[in-house]
A and B are shown apart, each in its own frame.
Chain A
Amino acid sequence: MQALATLGRYTLATLNEIGKVFIFSVQGLKNCFVPPFYFREIISQLVIVGFYSLPIVGLTAVFTGMVLALQTSVGFSRFNAAGAVASVVVISITRELGPVMAGLMVAGRGSSSIAAEIGSMRVSEQIDALRTLRVDPFKYLVVPRILAGVTMVPLLVLVADVIGVMGGFLVSTTLLDFSVGSYISQTVQNLAAIDVISGLVKAAVFGFSLTTFGCYHGFCCDLGARGVGNATTRAVVSSCIGILVLNYLLTALFFGI
């Protein structure tokens, strides 16, 4: 009975939290279209979320492409299908691995820093100071970060797609005896527009989700250093889970499974 009560409490608390995040994200989305806009903050967040995430996203993409080429080559050669490596690499990278890996990297880097920054601002009364200066903290802090996430994560994914495919190309042509011409032609032939577009749409949704989670946990953080630490951890965990769940839903939506 006790276990059942605990399970019930946990379920209600989780549903309550999901509801709060949902309301927060709707408010965030709505405010993206309502002035005033703080352009300086928006530009600053575009740089922080986009430009500063570029090295880690690039590095992840190149190694993912390289490993993917190696693994598919080993696996497919058992079925005499090693020639399909180029197609598998480009489709996997553009549809799934590019958006998901880039999303997870930006979640680890960006969502945590958003939660920590906003959480510290809350603890040190800077958010209250914004309110007393008649600046809506939602418009000043949340909107620029959401806009940065929605615009920069797709751009990062585009870069990750190119770098990831290049990684596969390098391994295939230098270690796996693929000819440059046939690898490129197979890549181009098997790449459909929907592969890239679905990846970019996913990236925009992931960008929205990870920045919203970062902002939400920052805004709701408990007071004190421990509160900020916990908010940061929760932001990363929920952003990553959010990306994985959304990835499944969007894949099902795009490819009619």
Chain B
Amino acid sequence: MTKIHFERLCKSFEGGLQVLNGVQLGIEKGESHIILGQSGCGKSVLLKCLLGIQKITSGDIIVDGISVQDERRFGEYLRKFSILFQGNALFDSMTILENVIFGANQVRRDKFECRKLAEEKLFAVGLEKRVFDLYPAEISGGMQKRAALARAIAVEPEILLFDEPTSGLDPITGGVICNLLKNTIKSLGVTALTITHDLKVAEFLADRVSVLNQGTVVWTGRTKDMETCGNGYVIRFHQASSLSGTVA
């Protein structure tokens, strides 16, 4: 059953810059899907269009039968998502616990329950109580990533989005975060969509991969089939990623 459907999605900016050019893609319920592509190929714009942060130029995005353009049902549409931003996007005027409580507030009204849920999620991502009252700037990048993940899952979403989840992290911390993401997706049973340029992350997390090039999905399949798929760009991307040897 298709959970997210991109229907000939196009996005262009002022001045005629076309970033997405007819993206056609279906993501199944419960699937962990990865969108791979070079920097500047439109991955982040795709994610922002999916969340309604940027208006689409033409085409549509349908999630469980609701269009991103349906303003009356946009609240219901958005309630299905939660995102782990590339730069974590933790609110720096709030402590780590307050950040997660802020997320929990969207699904629980009772103050005590919110706090309980937030603490539960922070423990689930492996953070210790001593960091709960610290501000984001006072903890490491890896801890910030965990806290941002805790906030994302505190919303109890149906779809989890990860924007370059290991960028800016050292290989060991990146690996730990990847493990955490995989376990989270598995334990929550959610649909996950990850945007990355890192093939190792894709190999580790993906059920299926789509490769984005010049605003179009040029190939969709399993990572192990990339080398033999017959698409020149995908093969080149695979070979270049293997050579650069990034470690998840």
Contacts and interface: CB of A to CB of B under 8 A. Distances in A.
A67 B23 CA distance: 68
Interface in A123-162: 124-126, 128-129, 131-135
Contacts of A124: 87, 89, 92
Contact of A125 (B78, B85, B103, B106): B85
Given A133-B102, A133-B106, A128 B155 contact: no
Nearest to B81: A132
A135 B101 CA distance: 13
B103 A131 contact: no
Contacts of B90: 126, 129
Nearest to A44: B93
Contacts of A134: 75, 78-79, 106
Interface string A104-137: 0000000000000000110011101101111100
Nearest to B102: A133
B245 to A, nearest CB: 29
A132 to B, nearest CB: 5
B83 interface: yes
Interface in B80-105: 81-83, 85-87, 89-92, 102-103
Given A131-B53, A133-B106, A125 B79 contact: no
B53 A126 contact: no
Question: Interface range on chain B: under 10, 10 to 19, 20 to 34, or 35 or more?
Answer: 20 to 34
Contacts of A120: 92
Given A125-B85, A125-B86, A131 B51 contact: yes
Among A121, A128, A129, A134, which residue has the most Cβ atoms of chain B within 10 A? A129
Nearest to B152: A132
A60 B83 CA distance: 47
A224 to B, nearest CB: 13
Contacts of B85: 125, 128-129
A153 B83 CA distance: 39
B73 interface: no
Interface of A: 120-121, 124-126, 128-129, 131-135
Interface of B: 48, 51-53, 75, 78-79, 81-83, 85-87, 89-92, 102-103, 106, 155
14 contacts: A124-B92, A125-B85, A125-B89, A128-B48, A128-B53, A129-B90, A131-B53, A132-B51, A132-B81, A132-B82, A133-B102, A133-B106, A134-B78, A134-B106
